[in-house]
Amino acid sequence: MARSEQSRYDAAPGRNRSSAGVADPPDQGRGAAMRTQSTWHGTVVALIALIAMIAATAFIEFTHLGNTTVAGVSDEVFTWFAPAGYVFMIWIVIYVALAIWCVNLSRTSTGDERFAGMPLGRDVVLFVVSCVLNIAWLVLWHLHNMVGSVIVIVVLLAVVAALYIAAKRPEAGLAEWMPLSIYAAWLLVAFVANAARAITGASSSASRIVPVISTILLLLALLAISYAVRARKDDVVFPLPIIWAGIGIGVRLMGVSTLTGVLVIALTALGGAAIYIPWNRVSISGRSGR
């Protein structure tokens, strides 16, 4: 081929060449565009699931499914391990944080993930499942199915915990794991409170000593879990919902037993301090001072 003909051939449309002199694959640009579109598909699906969960929650509450509300079912039986009403405002924080997490999926997804044969990433699928489980829990709670609600919230906690564990990597950004940390911590509190409500409703004991001791033990167990997560996952966020709930439990109990309420608040404060004290630095400075 003559040099002039070769030049015209190279300049023809669709014959873009790389610096190595090799023509780019014709579908490369199209594939990149499809992957970008796929990442946004996951974000859109996750946001739709979140909006559906919020809408279903509002509908069930405002229409009084089962002629009651979440607070109404809880108040039918006095449960010692239950936060004050204001504590549940944490759901505003959770919803906003989850919305940020959903949007952030478009940045962290590669667009090539498939889960169970679906063209969606594992995180998106599990998040949709968590939203469905959240709605199912709400329906069962309104219908006074305590055993069913506890089972569902255990599964929900497991799903969100799996998302959190996968997201909490050393190189991960805050938007990748912090919303899941808040959500998982609150679900842990909710599970304990739901189980306490179910046990209290099925119990005929009128003793006040047992619920007081069990409330303190449950609180200490939650604080211990918070300490473990803080230490092992380097997560400063996870303990906050549990501390928030512990103070709220103490505030609520002040109207029933001032001593118990003060004790719960004090234990929560001490536990929170123990969680956030940098024990490694304290021990190192103690050794160096000897």
Q: Quote the CA–CA distance of 22 and 177 in Å, as a whole number.
A: 42
What was the pLDDT predicted at 204?
65
Q: Is residue 277 part of a domain?
A: no
Residue 182: the pLDDT is 98
Please enumerate in sequence order all residues whose Cβ is within 8 A of that of 126, keeping only pairs 6 or more positions apart, or say none.
159, 162, 163
pLDDT of residue 206: 63
125, part of any domain: yes
What pLDDT is stored for residue 286 in this prediction? 52
* pLDDT computed for residue 205 by the predictor: 67
Domain that holds residue 137: 35-205
Closest CA to 191 of 141, 234, 239: 141
DSSP 8-state symbol, 67? G
pLDDT band at 147 (very low <50, low <70, confident <90, very high): very high
Structure tokens at 88: 């549940």
Q: For residue 200, what pLDDT is reported?
A: 87
- pLDDT tens per residue, range 242-287: 999 999 999 999 999 999 999 999 999 999 999 999 866 665 555 5
Name 224's Cβ contacts closer than 8 Å, sequence gap at least 6. none
Compute the mean pLDDT over every residue in the chain, rounded to the nearest whole number: 85
Instruction: Examine the pLDDT at 142 and tell me if it is beyond 70.
Output: yes
Question: What's the pLDDT at 18?
Answer: 42
Interatomic CA distance for residues 115 and 93, integer angstroms = 29
Whether residue 218 lies inside any domain: the answer is no
User: Does residue 258 lie within any of the structural domains?
Assistant: no
What's the mean pLDDT in 37-52? 84
Asked if residue 226 is part of any domain, the answer here is: no
Name residues whose C-beta falls within 8 Å of residue 233's C-beta, 6 or more positions apart in sequence: 168
pLDDT in tens, 92-127: 999 999 999 999 988 765 555 555 555 678 899 999
pLDDT value for 20: 45
Say if 289 falls within a structural domain: no
Q: What pLDDT shows up at residue 289?
A: 54
215: in domain: no
- Distance between CA 165 and CA 206 in Å, rounded? 41
| Dist. CA 62–CA 14, nearest whole Å | 60
pLDDT at residue 61, rounded to an integer: 95
Q: What angle do CA 168, 178, 101 make, to 5 degrees?
A: 100
Question: pLDDT band at 208, cuts 50/70/90?
Answer: confident
Residue 6 domain-assigned (yes or no): no
- How many structural domains is the chain composed of? 1
